[in-house]
A and B are shown apart, each in its own frame.
Chain A
Amino acid sequence: MMFVIFGLALSSSHCYYRPILADETAQHRRSASPTRSAEFRSGIRAELPIAVGVVPFGMIYGVLALAAGLPPMLAQGMSSIVFAGSSQFIGVQLIGVGTPLAVLWLTTFVVNLRHMLYSASVAPHIRQLSRLWRAVLAYLLTDEAYVMAALHYDDDTVSPRHKHFYYLGAGLTLWTVWQLSTAAGIFLGAQIPVSWALDFTLALTFIGLIVPALGNRPNLIAALTAGVVAVLTFSLPYKLGLLLAALTGIVAGVLVETRFGRSETHGAGR
């Protein structure tokens, strides 16, 4: 199973990651109009490599949730009810030490606040859809699905008509993998040694997504600013540092873009 996913991902990942966030200007605009099912399948294919990176993270969540004293049903339930990895990690730890519900919920709010920015970013693209569609797509709006959907919405060479099927395909892929990897973590439990350091795959997944976009000056400055502020504010409680770092990085990116534009400064591998 894993090898099949790996094979698929290897064959498709290259082209899907290339233009992430970088401005691909419309030099070779083709205006392809893929069908609904073609968009859906492209979304699945594009999301698979990221979903593979999420597997160890989901397994570790399952292990941690049991260690924190959650019954297996509830540990699995959190993965579908909350469906937000980093807040689930922090949530089970807070529950494990008997944190009051108000603090638990406030922490969840702060840690997940970045999704509000994602939501605002995809909102204009899905405003014409029915309530049900928008309700479902909002539920599927994780870091990993957002990145792929936002990238696809930015791609001018594809007609926007059925792009929500791509978003749906990417979102459902991540959802399925997250549920299965949580279940695997609950099932395998303590058989996964800490020394394997599998939690590191999340940082590596994000590195793989973000680094190729840093040839663009405003993106680079936004990243450097966010990174420095994240380190300086790391000791703040409830992941407030993450939020501050993200906001400072965004402001830095906008300022640099306003001053210098968005041109590539040093494109690698072009």
Chain B
Amino acid sequence: MSTTQLWLAVIGMGLITYGIRLVPIALQDRLPLTSRMRQALRYVPVAVLTAIIVPELLLPTGVLDVSLGNARLLAGVLAIGVAWRTKNVLLTIGAGMVALWLLQVVLASLP
């Protein structure tokens, strides 16, 4: 792609993304939410973020891998435990990354 086409590609992506974020805010008076819809919206973060997390842990290479050789799964399970106990995001990230690095070293040294 030429530089002009690249800018066009990026600006198009930006307009689409901004449109998605703006439309419900801008049009809410014309499209009022029912109480059932409000109820449903409360589950958006937990559902969306879990749908991003779980494949990262179970399919780190694009293929389902539920084994002790899956370092991301093991580190992720540990991080879930830390998050549950401490409710602290930074501790969760720190524990998960340290666990992943250690597991990578251990798994690489196995025959």
0/1 string, A227-253, CB within 8 A of B gives 1: 111110010000001100111111101
Residues of B within 8 A of A147 (CB): 45, 49
Q: Contact check, A105 vs B12: say whether CB atoms are below 8 A apart.
A: yes
Asked if B47 contacts A250 (CB within 8 A), the reply is yes
CA distance A83 to B9 in the complex (A): 14
B39 at the interface (CB under 8 A from A): yes
Q: Which residues of A contact B64 (CB under 8 A)?
A: 231
Known: A108-B17, A139-B18, A250-B43. A203 touches B84 (CB 8 A): no
B residues near A122, Cβ cutoff 8 Å: 25
Say yes or no: B50 contacts A227, CB within 8 Å: yes
Contact (Cβ within 8 A) B54 A231: yes
Question: Are B44 and A250 interface neighbours, CB within 8 A?
Answer: yes
| A230 to B59 alpha-carbon distance, docked (Å) | 10
Chain B interface size band reads: 35 or more
Contact, CB under 8 Å: A227 / B54: yes
From 33 to 68 in chain A, residues with beta carbon under 8 angstroms from any chain B beta carbon are 49-50, 52-53
| Interface range on chain A (Cβ under 8 Å from partner) | 35 or more
Distance between Cα atoms of A77 and B31 in the complex (Å): 33
Q: A98-B1, A120-B41, A203-B76 are in contact. Are A87 and B46 (CB under 8 A)?
A: no
Which among B13, B18, B47 is the interface contact of A249 at CB below 8 angstroms?
A: B47
Indicate the member of A9, A200, A241, A253 with the most B CB atoms within 10 Å. Answer: A200
Q: Is B93 an interface residue (CB 8 A)?
A: yes
Do the beta carbons of A13 and B17 come within 8 Å of each other? no
Contacts of B54 in A (CB 8 A): 226-228, 230-231
Contact in complex: A120, B18 (CB < 8 Å): no
Q: Determine the distance from Cα of A124 to Cα of B12 in the docked complex, in whole angstroms.
A: 28
Contact partners of B104 in chain A: CB under 8 A: 195, 197
Q: Are A201 and B47 in contact (CB under 8 A)?
A: no
Contact B6 A118 (CB under 8 A): no
Residues of B within 8 A of A121 (CB): 41-42, 44
- Please give 20 more A-B residue pairs, beta carbons under 8 A apart, in addition to A115-B17, A211-B92: A78-B14, A83-B14, A105-B12, A108-B17, A113-B20, A114-B44, A123-B28, A124-B28, A139-B21, A147-B45, A204-B76, A206-B53, A207-B92, A210-B46, A210-B83, A224-B50, A226-B50, A230-B51, A234-B55, A254-B43
